[in-house]
Amino acid sequence: MEALKQELKEKIIAVLNLEDVQPSDISNTDALFGDGLGLDSIDALELIVLLDKDYGIKLTDPKEGKNIFQSIDTMAAYVEANRTK
Amino acid sequence: MNRGIAITGMGIISAIGNNVDENFRALTNSDKGISRTDNIDTIHKDEIMFGEIKKSNDDLASELGLAADHNFTRTALLGAFAARQAVANAGISNMSEYKTGLINSTSVGGMDTTEKHYYEYFENPDTIKFISAHDGGDTSQKIAEIIGLEGFVTTISTACSSAANAIMLGARMIKAGKLDRVIVGGTDGLAKFTINGFKTLMILTDTYNTPFDNDRKGLNLGEAAAFLVLESDKIVEKEGKKVLARITGYANANDAFHQTASSENGEGAFLAMQKAFKVANLDPTQIDYINMHGTATPNNDLSEGRAVARVYEGKDVPDFSSTKAFTGHTLAAAAAIEAVYSVLAIQNGVVYPNLNFTTKMAEFDLVPQTELKHKNIDHVLSNSFGFGGNCSTVIFSKN
Amino acid sequence: MEDTLYIKSYASIENGKISVDGKTVFESSVANVSDFLKESVRHFGIQYPKFFKMDNLSKLAFLGSELVLKDNPNPETALLFANSSSSLDTDVTYQESIADKGNYFPSPAVFVYTLPNICLGEISIRHQLKTENSFFIFGAFNPDFFIGYAENLIETGKAANVLCGWTELFKDDYKAFVYLVSSEGKKAHTKQNIESLYTN
């Protein structure tokens, strides 16, 4: 699980072009949206593509993303439970 | 009220008709044009519906009398088809008689053809002619060719508000005396490029779009083209031209909030409407009908509804509806087809129904007009908002 | 009302060189446009994380605007931009992401930039400009059109200043020429002056 969390942090930084952010800057419980990393709705859609591409998880309703992308902890738990690759 | 700029001709092709009369009949009979696609080979064809024009490219080309080796894209074909109607409707026989311009708008340009041939260009010499047709500006040149126009030609691209800006620029150029006559409008053909893009933004519904409904799920993409002929009062008087309606107000403002999403309180939309009232010298309460942008995405309808509620705070909101449930969202052409609908609303004294509405939105007390309504209409306000925060409003008034 | 208008400030970005009001302020030998723009924004100490998420056309327009607007802030500044390739650079990137059925993952973050006027949205967000904004496509830089449009915006009270921009970009070829039209300044807002600044 810790490895997955680290992997997610690296992927998020790369996919969302978070220049000047290091994986160690993101704590597992930090809010990813809003005040935390300051991600926006397009970033959320991009994370939905990431789930599909790298973990074979397909979301159809963008609202589902809200709960899943609360933090690295929630995202990792969801990926662990639902991944198909 | 300012006198405004005269509209003397209109032409249109959309999913609900191939000319002005057919469009009007569909609007007043509640015949929507949303269907599965027949013309596009997309992997999403069974999941989503479109405001698709059923004429094929070959049908359009033969009606335009093009040679077999033409390189018109679908966007150019639709645009030329509608512009030719507008010119005929305005009774123009000699295009060079006055200083005449064309202000076209498009968001996809020749993408429909490019995506078909992109990987063939090196191997198939027959496709090479389409490379130069990709450009949005080429679409405008082709339309100019078809209507025999040799004057000022330009192309606007401000996403889904493009045609509103074409109308606005045309009105201004006549007002400033730079042109005597100008053909303004927009065209966009359906392309996989846009379908996939809107799909990734997760704002496409899997059924019919339902503007201003609490349970709306998103938009249907559509394709269309429409053009208006605007003429100076000098020409109108000299030739005794019939004036269909006038453009009295226009403005655009940036929402300055997000690349694609509208702000919570609809600041850009609010400012565009306010500025348009100022240009028209009209009080908001003088508007008889608002043709909303109303794409039926959760974000647009909430933001636009809030902006309208702010404009009419403490006052009655005029009858309003979105015609997107009829045509789908036709992107750069949207404001042009809705300009035609606005003029028809004034000429015929009708408010079009907002189809597919059942439940009022929880966030405010706005209920669209759901049945066809007959009444005198002096002023129509039409909104169009585009990605990039571009919010545009045009006001049409009875002559 | 025919008050004289001026070009208050201007900036050019071309061939790895950035100049503001005629003075070279940054030069780089980096050929890749994306790296060059990143390097530039760091050089000028511009702190704006969203910059790194933009497509190259928006980065170019953003940077040009930044250099002109930083000393000339005014919320009543309208935006009048144009180029000849529209958003072709990003259109190609996006097209590649939907062309392969076996590796089909279209990116929403790329798609949003497949319109040329998104860069105006980015500039508007950065400087909180809720003013008139329009993006045109011309075969080539068209100073007559810019002059007429900018003067009309100011004369009709639609804007106090107009930020005009020619921002052309495809692959590693780019040119940005951004200038501010205002009722204050030293250089007259004439076709001759605009053309000479554009070509220099």
Pick from B66, B65, B75: which is nearest to B104 by CA? Answer: B75
Say if C185 falls within a structural domain: yes
- Domain segments of chain A: what residues? 2-82
B215 shares contact with chain A (CB less than 8 Å) = no
Mean pLDDT value across residues A40-53:
94
State ipTM: 0.88
Q: Is B286 helix (H, G, I), strand (E, B) or coil?
A: helix
Chain A, residues 26-45, CB within 8 A of chain B, namely: 40-42, 45
Q: Rounded distance, CA B13 to CA B111, Å?
A: 19
Q: What is the pLDDT of residue B121?
A: 84
Q: What is the pLDDT of residue A57?
A: 96
- Helix H or strand E segment including B325: helix B324-327
Q: Which residues of C touch A53 (CB under 8 A)?
A: 105
Class of domain B247-397: alpha beta
**Chain position carrying tokens 């201007």:** C10
Q: What is the pLDDT of residue A35?
A: 75
Least confident of B100-104, B125-129, B153-157: B125-129
Least confident of B44-48, B378-382, C101-105: C101-105
C38: left (phi over 0), alpha (psi -120 to 50) or beta: alpha
Q: Which residues of A touch B200 (CB under 8 A)?
A: 45, 49
Least confident of A14-23, B351-360, C97-106: C97-106
Chain B nearest CA to A11, separation (Å): 19
* SS3 of B65-76: CCCCCCCCCHHH
Is residue B391 annotated as a catalytic residue, yes or no? no
b/e burial code for range B294-305 (CB count within 10 A of at least 16 → b): bbbbbbbbbbbb
Interchain CB distance below 8 Å, C52 and A49: no
Q: Is C178 helix (H, G, I), strand (E, B) or coil?
A: strand
A77 shares contact with chain C (CB less than 8 Å) = no
pLDDT above 70: percentage of residues in chain A: 100
Of A41, A48, A61, the CB nearest to B261: A41
* pLDDT tens over chain C, length 200 residues: 456 899 999 999 999 999 999 999 999 999 999 999 999 999 999 999 999 999 999 999 999 999 999 999 999 999 999 999 999 999 999 998 888 878 889 999 999 999 999 999 999 999 999 999 999 999 899 999 999 999 999 999 999 999 999 999 999 999 999 999 999 999 999 999 999 999 97
Cβ neighbours around B336 below 10 Å, total = 35
For residue B166, what are its two tokens? 């074409």
Is residue B160 annotated as a catalytic residue, yes or no? yes
Mean pLDDT value across residues B293-305:
97
Tens digit of each residue's pLDDT (9 = 90 or more) over B78-114: 999 999 999 999 999 999 999 999 999 999 999 999 9
Q: Rounded distance, CA B282 to CA B385, Å?
A: 21
Q: Is C37 helix (H, G, I), strand (E, B) or coil?
A: helix
Say if C35 falls within a structural domain: yes
For residue B301, what are its two tokens? 């309808």
Confidence of residue A3 (pLDDT cuts 50, 70, 90): very high
Mean pLDDT value across residues B277-305:
98
Q: Rounded distance, CA C78 to CA C130, Å?
A: 8
- The CATH number of the domain holding residue C46 is 3.40.47.10
Same fold, B5-239 and B247-397: yes
Q: Which fold has domain B5-239?
A: Peroxisomal Thiolase; Chain A, domain 1 (3.40.47)
Tens digit of each residue's pLDDT (9 = 90 or more) over B317-343: 999 999 999 999 999 999 999 999 999
Chain A residue at shortest CA distance from B299: A41
Q: What is the pLDDT of residue B120?
A: 87
Q: Could you give the number of structural domains in chain C?
A: 1
Report the length, in residues, of chain B: 399
User: Which of B44, B70, B134, B293 is flagged as catalytic?
Assistant: B293
Of A19, A42, A46, the CB nearest to C49: A19
CA dihedral B30, B375, B294, B28 (to 10 degrees): 10
Say if C1 falls within a structural domain: no
Interchain CB distance below 8 Å, A42 and C109: yes
A54 shares contact with chain C (CB less than 8 Å) = no
C104 shares contact with chain A (CB less than 8 Å) = no
Higher pLDDT, B221 or B123: B221
B93 shares contact with chain A (CB less than 8 Å) = no
CB B86 within 8 A of CB B227: yes
Q: Tell me the pTM.
A: 0.92
Higher pLDDT, A64 or C180: C180
Of C121, C130, C131, the CB nearest to B267: C130
- Domain segments of chain B: what residues? 5-239, 247-397
Please tell me the CATH superfamily of domain A2-82, with its number.
ACP-like (1.10.1200.10)
